[in-house]
Amino acid sequence: MVLITGGGGSIGSELCRQIARHEPKQLVIFDIYENNAYELMNDLKNTYGNSVDIQVRIGSVRDQKRLDEIFNEFRPSVVFHAAAHKHVPLMEDSPCEAVKNNVFGTINVAKIAIEYGVKRFVNISSDKAVNPANVMGATKRITEMIVQYFERKCKNSTIFAAVRFGNVLGSSGSVIRGTCL
């Protein structure tokens, strides 16, 4: 069973499409925004019919109680953590929201993954985490450090990993607007 946080977003939805091709027993799309998650669910059901059990649950990675409900209901063996605020200019204007969602959300999902015996946890990071020049990049670098911490801490249980994605075609807000001199 595979669970993808932020499953309705630009990166999460593509992960869902790629994973669905391998026909997992169950694929859970977890997202805070119901419209994208619903459209993705319908698209995947049209493509794969009943060969993949596709479930959608709405909630936030900030909400520990909701995460517990989801993990208790589905008992995932693999988690792809793609939920994050990724819009660079907006996160410059709302840095506390970036920290709450990206940093504390990652901690919440990592802790619950350990609690429920998830075998593999993959954090989806960003190329902007390399020498971060903006709030979003800094928060994604912190998520990588969180994953490294849990990987050291959980030597014989959950395997933690992080992968960095570059600019994603079709996504929005990947750069800070500049001015001409």
pLDDT at 154: 81
The per-residue pLDDT for range 101-131, each reduced to its tens digit, is 999 999 999 999 999 999 999 999 988 888 8
**Mean pLDDT of the 64-83 span:** 98
Q: Which positions are catalytic?
A: 128
Instruction: Report yes or no on whether pTM surpasses 0.85.
Output: yes
Residues 87, 136: contact at Cβ < 8 Å?
Answer: yes
Q: Rounded distance, CA 117 to CA 45, Å?
A: 28
Q: Rounded distance, CA 111 to CA 116, Å?
A: 9
Q: pLDDT band at 177, cuts 50/70/90?
A: very low
Cβ-Cβ contacts under 8 Å for 18 (sequence gap 6 or more): none
Q: Which helix (H) or strand (E) holds 144?
A: helix 135-153
In eight-state DSSP terms, residue 139 is H
